[in-house]
Structure 1
Amino acid sequence: MSHAAFGLIYCLAFVGLEAFQAVYLGAVFQSVDSFAVGGLVFGISVIGCTVATALFRPAELAAAIRAWRVIVLLNVIVTVTWSTYFFAIQLVEPAIAFTVFSGMVPLGTVIAGWLGLPEAASKRQRLENAGYAIILLSIIALAAITVFGFSGFVRGGWMAGFTGVALAAVSGGFTALVILFSVRLNGRGVGPLPAFGLRFILYTVLSMLAFLLGLDDKGTSVPAGEMVRIVFIGLLVIAYPLYLLQKAIPLVHASVIAAFAALGPVIVFVMQLVEGRVDYAIATLTGTALYMVGALLAIHGATRNTREPLVHAER
């Protein structure tokens, strides 16, 4: 099997696990302090990946230290990404926030290419461009649906709706930057293991600080055994999918990874359809359907653009 095929498998596994978490395990994480879960899940990831790299890939850890500026930048970008998405889902319908976020990942990659970021440069197929155009139209439609009050949920008036959509778009755009600067880090000799772990240091510190300040305190105590179970699930369905995405970076072009990220809402919709609980508002469902057409066109066009790995690919 070629490196590109492995990369596509990693991308598909990432999207599938993310969708599974969104559909079936959302309630598990809603009952506890999200900052506590995030701090523990990513704190364990940081420590585990750093120790494993030091033991088994010391040359990559040395490369990461040399590329400390990129590591610091990734930490800031990751923190903005997760923080903005967290606030977005507090303000608008989660289905809309997730769709806008997912769609902005490939669109952010396109914008980064226009701005001259070399990692974003690619020769896109016409079908891929058509898919991105439809995704953009669907995001505009979902934004209008939210701002004018036709979605299922908005915490506040039109300004809250606008802010929620804008935050989701920022989060998706910054996710594109995470992918692109991870490509740059890989080009400097830093493989998936340290690149994944080291970029969550700042987010872990801030999450634990937010937990200590009680910013997401649910008002109920969680038994230690239950918290251990939740953190273990978080490692499987939050951290591990992101690591799979990181493993795809040396194997396929960033634009392909970004296109796969846009596939998330499609898989979520299919899972909900199979389960028999598609609970979107009618207007939201219309905008999401338009989005799905664009995402499928984009992924079909992008997968024609696969290529062999850069460096430090791990199977």
Structure 2
Amino acid sequence: MMDQNKYLSGVFCTLLYIFIASTQSVMLNIWLFGVNIFLVVGLSFLVVTIVFATIGLFRQRDAYVALFSQWHLLIALNIVSMFNWLFYFLAVKYLEPSVAVTLTQGLGPVSMTLYMLLTGKAVSKVTRYCHLVIFIIAIAMCMYTVMFRNAYTLYSRNEMIMGIVIAVLCSISITATVVISKRFAVSKIPASALLSLRFPLLISLCLGILSLQHNVVVNSSILYAILLIALVGVSASIYFLQKGIELTTPLAVSTVLALSPLAVFVIQLFNNHTPFSLPLFLIIMIIVIMSIVSITYEARQASSVANI
């Protein structure tokens, strides 16, 4: 059982993640053009791993015994984490930020609901209907983006379609990450200890691919930007996300993440290269409204169960 205060604390932590990650998405869309993405991802998560490993080794050594006792889940978490972060960086590279985040985060509730239904878990009719609307609206957004927003991107329509496919795959991998991370949270594994062992596969893949490439541009400004991404954009944001996963339900986390598109849409208005779009704004607002309805309903359900 979960009381309402704990549920809402988890929602708040996830909202903090959204604020940081949304700002990062807009900045990455501008900055990643012409920068080697494997260099950015590999070095960023190397820094992230060092940060959380330092915290874990000094404060939570006992947690590593429990972590390694669940080595199969740890490997699974590494695999899905590799996909969701690599796909995320590729999605924000090829799509305008609000579209990329709408697909990567907004479709999370859809895949989470599908997962719960396939595994025989109960999902309320309200949540099912809300997520069905999100799914339909997301399809409409993809069509609108490819047909009418290609003028505001540096990439071709084929690259935009590839970005859409990658973003959808990212949303599925994020859902898998939430489910597996919740298993560790139930085992009382501290967030920092888990995060210190979550990315070795992602780092190895990126640095392995990078070693095979030639003429990779590396300078002090790129390294400074990577350090900023690692410490603020990734370390701080995923810590709050991990705490959100720990404090609330997987469905709640996935649903709250659907609020990300509105935050990104507002932030990207400060970028002159992506002018305001009324249809895109309406699409995002429908997704946000459906998310709020679902969040509110699930919070009330959690409160009702706790009071029985």
Q: Deviations over 1:256-296 (max 9, x none)?
A: 111111111101122344x48582585xx514522322222
Q: 1:177: Cα distance to partner?
A: 0.8
Which of the numbers 248, 255, 258 marks the counterpart of 1:252? 248
Q: What are the residue-to-residue correspondences of 1:82-97 with 2, within 5 Å?
A: 82-97=85-100
Aligned position for 2:49? 46
Corresponding residue for 1:279? 274
- Give, as a single letter, the amino acid of the residue that structure 1 aligns with 2:298: N
CA-to-partner distance for each residue in 1:60-88, whole Å, 9 max, x for gaps? Answer: 11111011101101111111222333444
Indicate whether 1:297 and 2:283 are aligned. no
Question: For the structure 1 residues 145 and 5, does the alpha-carbon distance in structure 2 shift closer, same or farther, using more than 3 Å as the test?
Answer: closer
Deviates more, 1:195-204 or 1:78-87: 78-87
Distance in 2, Cα, partners of 1:108 & 1:216: 39
Residue 11 (str. 1) matches residue 14 (str. 2) = yes
- CA gap of 1:228–1:202, structure 2 versus 1, over 3 A, is same
Give the conservation status (yes or no) of the 8 Å contact 1:100–1:168: yes
Distance 2:195 2:22 in 1: 20
Q: Displacement of 1:16 after TM fit?
A: 0.7
Q: Deviation at 1:9?
A: 1.8
Aligned length: 296
TM-score (normalised: structure 1):
0.81
How far is 1:33 from its partner? 3.2
Residue aligned with 1:249, SS: helix
The alignment partner of 1:214 has SS state of: coil
Distance 1:233 1:85, change over 3 A: closer
Between stretches 42-51 and 29-38, larger displacement belongs to: 29-38
Please report how far the alpha carbon of residue 144 of structure 1 lies from its aligned counterpart in structure 2 after TM superposition.
2.3
Task: Measure, in 2, the Cα distance between the counterparts of 1:156 and 1:42.
Answer: 29
Q: Distance in 1 between matches of 2:109 and 2:181?
A: 15
Q: Which runs of 5+ in 2 are unaligned?
A: 304-308
| Cα deviation code 1:196-237 (max 9, x no counterpart) | 2211110011122233233793x4x412x7624541343111
- Which residue identity lines up with residue 108 of structure 1 in the other structure? S
CA contact (8 A) 1:34 1:216 kept: no
Runs of 5+ unmatched residues, structure 1: 309-315
Contact 1:29 1:230 (8 Å CA) reproduced: no
Q: Does 1:261 align with 2:281?
A: no
Q: Is the 8 A contact 1:138 1:288 kept in 2?
A: no
C-alpha distance 229-85 of structure 1, shift in aligned 2 (>3 A): closer
Measured against aligned partners, the alpha-carbon deviations of 1:115-174 in whole angstroms (never above 9, x if no partner) come to: 218xxx454462x44432221112111222345x333248445x5544332221111111
Aligned counterpart, 2:228: 232
| Secondary structure at 2:247 match in 1 | coil
Higher helix share: 2
Aligned ranges 1:1-315 → 2 under 5 Å: 2-24=5-27, 26-28=29-31, 30=33, 32-116=35-119, 121=121, 123-124=123-124, 126=126, 128-146=127-145, 149-152=147-150, 153=153, 155-156=155-156, 160-214=159-213, 217=216, 219=217, 221-223=218-220, 227-228=223-224, 230-273=226-269, 275=270, 277=272, 279-280=274-275, 282=277, 285-306=278-299, 307=302
Shift of 1:51: 3.6
Distance change >3 Å, CA 40–CA 87, structure 1 → 2: closer
Q: CA deviation at 1:89?
A: 4.4
Report the residue type matching 2:21 in the other structure: E
Partner of 2:306: none
Q: Distance in 1 between matches of 2:215 and 2:117?
A: 38
| CA separation of 1:103 and 1:270: change in aligned 2, threshold 3 A | same
Tell me if structure 2 keeps the 8 A contact 1:38–1:204: yes
